[in-house]
């Protein structure tokens, strides 16, 4: 992997990880065009740029990483449990689901769901939960079960949690913020597990490439989180729904 490859993948990971468009699908396409195979070294690199994205959540919401917000993090942990348990128990079956056709199909299905939810299920803004602190424990567990759908490749972790939150009465901004916070334990668990599996792939020769990818991913993720929230103050998820459908069709045409 070259430094340019590292920068490109870092930008893609940082930009797509917290948007409801699946970072996995975009990294597949990027790796294909860059001629990068899914080797252990590539997987190790992906762990590093995911860790950078986790760090971006912390710096965007560092005021919530205090004892004052213990109740909020209890709700986040409860929402994490379904995907943590199911992902661990059925990890081999989940890996067998991976294929470009499934990724593309879930892009399209997810896009249609976003359009349907925006059309029929979004209530008046005044009736919706505005603040993540006001999410109930019951709503948290249901959002957690919605996140389980993200185990199907191409569904998007952010997409499934945001859809679940919208259907449970959170407004768009609060749905996105809960998804960001929920990403912290989910990605920490996944990246930590992958780090243990691939730590031997980190060598002195690749250190510069890894550091550049880490820095790029962190910066792009940090900025993307802020811009995404600004976007949701004025716009809906319709654009993401349309984009998912078009990207899914493009994947099917490109790889079939």
Residues 147 and 178 sit within 8 Å (Cβ to Cβ): no
pLDDT for res 35:
86
Mean pLDDT, rounded, for 79-106: 88
Q: How far apart are CA 155 and CA 114, in angstroms?
A: 12
pLDDT for res 201:
64
pLDDT at 59 over 80: yes
What tokens were used for 22? 């699946």
Q: Which of 42-56, 158-172, 192-206 has the lowest mean pLDDT?
A: 192-206
Residues 87 and 134 sit within 8 Å (Cβ to Cβ): no
Residue-wise pLDDT for 113-147, tens only, equals 999 999 988 777 778 999 999 999 999 999 999 99
Residue-wise pLDDT for 178-225, tens only, equals 999 999 998 888 777 777 776 666 665 577 888 899 999 999 999 999
Domain count of the fold of the chain: 1
pLDDT for res 199:
65
pLDDT at 162 over 80: yes
pLDDT at 95 over 90: no
Mean pLDDT, rounded, for 151-169: 93
What is the domain range of residue 232? 3-255
Q: Name 52's Cβ contacts closer than 8 Å, sequence gap at least 6.
A: 10, 13, 14, 213, 214, 215, 216, 217, 218, 221
pLDDT for res 29:
83
Q: Which of 14-23, 41-50, 224-233 has the lowest mean pLDDT?
A: 41-50
- Averaged confidence pLDDT in the chain: 89
Q: Name 240's Cβ contacts closer than 8 Å, sequence gap at least 6.
A: 19, 20, 21, 111, 114, 159
pLDDT band at 30 (very low <50, low <70, confident <90, very high): confident
pLDDT for res 126:
78
pLDDT for res 202:
64
pLDDT at 43 over 80: no
Q: Length of the chain, please?
A: 256
pLDDT for res 254:
85
pLDDT at 160 over 90: yes
Q: Which of 18-22, 24-28, 130-134 has the lowest mean pLDDT?
A: 24-28
């Amino acid at each position: 992997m070259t430094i340019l490859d590292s920068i490109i993948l870092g930008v893609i990971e940082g930009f797509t990880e917290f948007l409801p468009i699946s970072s996995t699908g975009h990294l597949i396409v990027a790796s294909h065009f860059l001629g990068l195979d899914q080797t252990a070294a590539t997987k190790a690199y992906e762990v590093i740029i995911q860790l950078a994205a986790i760090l971006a959540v912390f710096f965007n919401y560092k005021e919530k990483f205090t004892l004052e917000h213990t109740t909020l993090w209890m709700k986040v942990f409860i929402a994490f449990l379904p995907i943590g348990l199911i992902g661990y128990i059925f990890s081999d079956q989940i890996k067998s689901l991976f294929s470009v056709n499934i990724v593309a199909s879930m892009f399209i299905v997810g896009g249609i769901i976003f359009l349907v939810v925006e059309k029929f299920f979004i209530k008046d803004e005044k009736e919706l939960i505005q603040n993540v602190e006001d999410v109930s424990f019951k709503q948290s567990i249901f959002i957690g079960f919605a996140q389980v759908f993200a185990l199907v490749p191409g569904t998007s972790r952010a997409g499934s949690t945001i859809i679940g939150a919208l259907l449970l009465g959170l407004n768009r901004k609060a749905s996105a913020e809960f998804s960001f916070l929920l990403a912290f334990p989910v990605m920490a668990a996944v990246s930590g597990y992958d780090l243990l599996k691939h730590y031997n792939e980190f060598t002195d020769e690749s250190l510069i490439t890894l550091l550049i990818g880490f820095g790029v991913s962190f910066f792009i993720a940090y900025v993307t989180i802020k811009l995404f929230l600004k976007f949701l103050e004025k716009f809906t998820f319709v654009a993401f729904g349309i984009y998912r459908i078009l990207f899914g069709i493009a994947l099917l045409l490109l790889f079939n």
